[in-house]
Amino acid sequence: MKVINHIKEIRETRGIAQKQMAADLDVSRQTMNAIEKGKYNPSLELSLKIADYFSLSFQEIFYLEGDE
């Protein structure tokens, strides 16, 4: 099953630049781009950091394809 995320939508809604979010999370912009496009699944640690960054639960950001 494929992991789906809403990172790009949440980030854009909040007016956060991809470059800024990457810097805040101490990852490259290329990593954030790959995660947002679903080409790379973040580690558990980074996934939890992203949830904390947005002050959302893990489940509000990530889900398995078909569990929408």
CATH number for position 18? 1.10.260.40
CA-nearest of 6, 45, 5 to 25 is 45
Is residue 66 domain-resident?
A: no
37 inside domain:
yes
The parent domain of residue 51 ranges over 3-55
Which pair of tokens denotes residue 8? 């790009």
Residue 9 maps to a domain: yes
Q: What is the mean pLDDT of each run of 10 residues along the chain (68 residues)?
A: 94 98 98 96 96 96 84
Domains in the chain: how many in total?
1
The answer to the question of residue 44 being in a domain is yes
Residue 60 lies in a domain: no
Q: Pick left, alpha or beta for residue 22 (phi over 0 → left; psi -120 to 50 → alpha; otherwise beta).
A: alpha
- pLDDT of res. 1: 80
Q: What is the pLDDT of residue 55?
A: 98
pTM above 0.75, yes or no: yes
Cα 61 from Cα 16, distance rounded (Å): 16
**3: its two tokens:** 């992991």
